[in-house]
A and B are shown apart, each in its own frame.
Chain A
Amino acid sequence: DQQVKQNSPSLSVQEGRISILNCDYTNSMFDYFLWYKKYPAEGPTFLISISSIKDKNEDGRFTVFLNKSAKHLSLHIVPSQPGDSAVYFCAARDSNYQLIWGAGTKLIIKP
């Protein structure tokens, strides 16, 4: 059973518009959530994170929202740029401090 789900395998967004990437989880004991970005043939790179005690964290063009009651996490990128085209992974930290990863969403920014 997947504890962290990214239900959209891919997403296409026009350059300059907002990209919204979604992530759902099942374990209410997750205490920390992260987003990583991955380019082809490279390892994931850390993007932004949020503690379970918060509902929003912002860093430049990137904002992560956490809705604990819905067990839902989203990443907003605005404005979207061509360099944002990549696979985005959502990850959650469990009570053993292990990261549980979603399958990723491929974001394509159209010029």
Chain B
Amino acid sequence: GAGVSQSPSNKVTEKGKDVELRCDPISGHTALYWYRQRLGQGLEFLIYFQGNSAPDKSGLPSDRFSAERTGESVSTLTIQRTQQEDSAVYLCASSLTDRTYSNQPQHFGDGTRLSIL
């Protein structure tokens, strides 16, 4: 399909382990976003990539969280030494142009449901 693809769809891991989540954006989309959604809450911004510009990391909750993106392709979100409060759905979105353009909505993947035991 031509949509945003995320993997894995579900991940269960033990507290203290590292996890890596993957996002394949829509081809040609220069902007990529990561969000976290805790149960019963709205989406919480984590990080934004735009082309080769420096990413906006202002939403990352701690230094255990990091993300990479190679050019305008795949992105990975890494959580080190996971804690139980990291349990959430992690959503990735992409858009055609940078976020200053309001007429380019974000297209979301189906998310990765992360459960920390």
Complex Cα spacing A49 to B34, Å: 21
At the interface, yes or no: B91 with Cβ under 8 Å from chain A? yes
Q: Are A98 and B91 in contact (CB under 8 A)?
A: no
Complex Cα spacing A43 to B91, Å: 7
The number of residues on chain B lying at the interface, defined by a beta carbon within 8 Å of a beta carbon of chain A, is: 23
CB proximity to B under 8 Å, residues A92-111 = 93, 96-104
Residues of A within 8 A of B110 (CB): 41-43
A-B pairs with beta carbons under 8 A, tally = 54
Residues of A within 8 A of B99 (CB): 93, 97-98
Interface of B is mostly: loop
Size class of the A contact interface (CB-based, 8 Å): 20 to 34
Q: Are B102 and A45 in contact (CB under 8 A)?
A: no
Which residue, B48, B56, B108, has most C-beta atoms of chain A within 10 A?
A: B108
Q: Which of B35-43, B70-78, B79-87 contacts A (4 or more CB under 8 A)?
A: B35-43
- Min Cβ gap B36→A in Å is 11
